[in-house]
Chain A
Amino acid sequence: MATSAVRFGALVTLEELVPSSPQFTQGASLRVTGKLQEYDIETAIASIVEGNASLKIDTQHLKVNLRIGSLYQFIGELLIDPSNQAILRARVGRNVDGMDLNLYHQSLQLLRDFQAEQMNSTTS
């Protein structure tokens, strides 16, 4: 696969991933973070939670050790079924135990505001 063909995983919180949000799109490349709540070894489907939201992750292509209760970050593509249920087919995943989640959320918002400001200044 050509390296230029891979899309970056857009940073998104699980609480933002609702059907009405622009990131809730078939095939969208996303980076999500959450605590591992469930893992089915037979199907390789994991469930992560962040706040009140959860998301299923298809981990069959990953070689990462999954432990219930640990924090993980996944990058992959969102697959949405006809009933609007979403699952992220992960390309990579990593344990992020020790990540400061408050700092992460604040910085994520800062990064978005910063990029938006940069875009506004180049188009105006």
Chain B
Amino acid sequence: MDALYNTHVKLLAFDFLKLTPSPTDPSSFFRRGKRLSRAETVGIVVTRDLKPGKFVKFTIDDGSGCISCVLWLNQLNSSYFSRRNPSDVRLIAQAATDFASDLQLGVLARVRGRITDYRGALQISVSDVVVERDPNMQILHWLDCMRSLVMLLARILDSDCSASCARICGVER
């Protein structure tokens, strides 16, 4: 059962970059045998490239690696969105514009979205952004990611790794 498929799984960049694309489904990625489609990262915005009306590409550095992200800003001109209710599209476009203005260099941001593969490089196609004012949120994200991976490992056949990771994290199995 793909319990994680529609959740934004908290991933360290170190882990995110090891995801393997599904050979049959472009929206699915595998991590230790579990199928995922969405991810959440928390880290510092270290690059930002804004193309108004099109997209903002940025990079999140979470201390274990860098994750490339893209936030689309072209909803008002997109043929994909032309089929939807115009007032809904305006709301989506405004939310995306607001997120883009929050994403300044040096801020700590929590970013969620779909995992995508762009020309062989993994990235997040962003659905929402929260700027974290509390600097401890970066630490909490590390701990959340480690804890969720230990729980995942406890369910699969890598018992030596899951036992030692559980011991490191002090998690009961």
Contacts and interface: CB of A to CB of B under 8 A. Distances in A.
Interface of A: 1, 3-4, 6-11, 31, 62-64, 73, 75, 91-100, 103-104, 107, 110-111, 113-115, 117-118, 120-121
Q: Which 6 A-B pairs have the closest CB atoms?
A: A121-B161, A96-B135, A92-B106, A99-B135, A8-B66, A3-B59
Interface in B12-69: 12-15, 44-47, 49, 57-59, 61-66, 68
Interface centre among A64, A93, A110, A111 (most CB of B within 10 A): A111
Interface stretch (B75-83, B86-94, B95-103, B139-147): B139-147
Contacts of A107: 139, 142-143
Contacts of A120: 161
Interface centre among B45, B46, B68, B136 (most CB of A within 10 A): B46
Contacts of B57: 3
Contacts of A104: 139
B169 interface: yes
A110 B146 contact: yes
Interface of B: 12-15, 44-47, 49, 57-59, 61-66, 68, 105-108, 121, 134-136, 139, 142-143, 146, 158, 160-161, 164-165, 168-169
B165 A64 contact: no
Contacts, number: 100
Nearest to A10: B63
B169 A1 contact: no
Contact of B105 (A10, A92, A98): A92
Contacts of B158: 121
B167 to A, nearest CB: 9
Nearest to B17: A8
A89 to B, nearest CB: 14
Given A94-B108, A98-B135, A103-B139, A6 B63 contact: no
B14 A75 contact: no
Given A111-B64, A121-B158, A94 B14 contact: no
Contact of B106 (A62, A98, A103, A110): A62
A114 B168 contact: yes
30 contacts: A3-B57, A3-B59, A3-B66, A4-B68, A4-B121, A6-B46, A6-B47, A8-B13, A8-B61, A8-B64, A31-B61, A75-B61, A92-B44, A94-B44, A94-B106, A94-B107, A94-B108, A94-B135, A99-B136, A99-B139, A100-B136, A103-B136, A110-B143, A114-B168, A115-B14, A115-B64, A117-B168, A118-B14, A121-B158, A121-B160
